[in-house]
Amino acid sequence: MAAAKDVKLLGARPSPFVNRVQFALNLKSIDYEFIPTNPMAKTELLLKSNPIHKKIPVFFHGDKTICESLVIVQYIDEAFPDGPSILPSDPHDRSTARFWAAYIDDKWFPLFRSLRDAKEEESKAEIVEKISQGVKPLEDAFVKLSSGKGFFGGDTIGYVDIVLGCFLGWLKVNETISNFKIFDETKTPALAEWSERFKNHEAVKGTLPETEELFNILKMMQAAQAAAQSEASK
């Protein structure tokens, strides 16, 4: 990787939002220092560097601090022009990529949090249906944006690939828990093929956490939540 001066990333390996920044850095061949942190601990560095949202990731470039994963990825693309472009150069294409990124982050992926918190089977079934319906526009968007190539970004991964691809590990966990396939080969064949292609990209391999690792993390989170609820009820 090409060395870059004073490039650091504050984050945690299981976070998909941290992963998307790592993908962007890897794609640009930028060497960086990873500063692991427990996002639940709210360390002094985290609170100081991101006092508004108090969340990871936080990106440091020299004396500059950049927060929020989508903003960071766009910053990396503009601040480090060498290497593959992440966002399209055409203004309309850029706006289209940002539109689908917002759709994924604001409308589609939050459904998985709702699914995790749902207690009744009927509610879970309704949310699963919404998730399935929400995949169809993404399938259509991929076919249109990829223009017959392997990624949303064309020949290589781009902005929408990074935004959606960072969730693939956790989506696999949800598939197993809820017993339904999110990217189905019969219903969304393009996305099913894309997901495998993305996971095997050199900018992604070794960074995207394995499903088993995420399962273990989920179990620890659930155990901690149960213990907290038990303590609160005393």
Q: Indicate the pLDDT class of residue 214, thresholds 50, 70 and 90.
A: confident
pTM of the model as a whole: 0.92
Cβ proximity of 73 and 27 under 8 Å: no
Q: E strands of the chain, at which residues?
A: 7-11, 33-36, 58-61, 64-67
pLDDT digits (tens, 9 = 90+) for 187-211: 999 999 999 999 999 999 999 998 8
Token pair in block for residue 131: 């998730």
Residue keyed to tokens 């004396």:
63
Query: Which domains occur in the chain, in start order?
Result: 7-79 (3.40.30.10), 91-211 (1.20.1050.10)
Type of residue at 27: L
If you count DSSP H runs as helices and E runs as strands, how many of each does the chain have, helices first? Answer: 10, 4
Task: Concatenate the DSSP letters of all residues of 6-49 into one string.
Answer: TEEEEE-TT-HHHHHHHHHHHHTTB--EEEE--TTT--HHHHHH
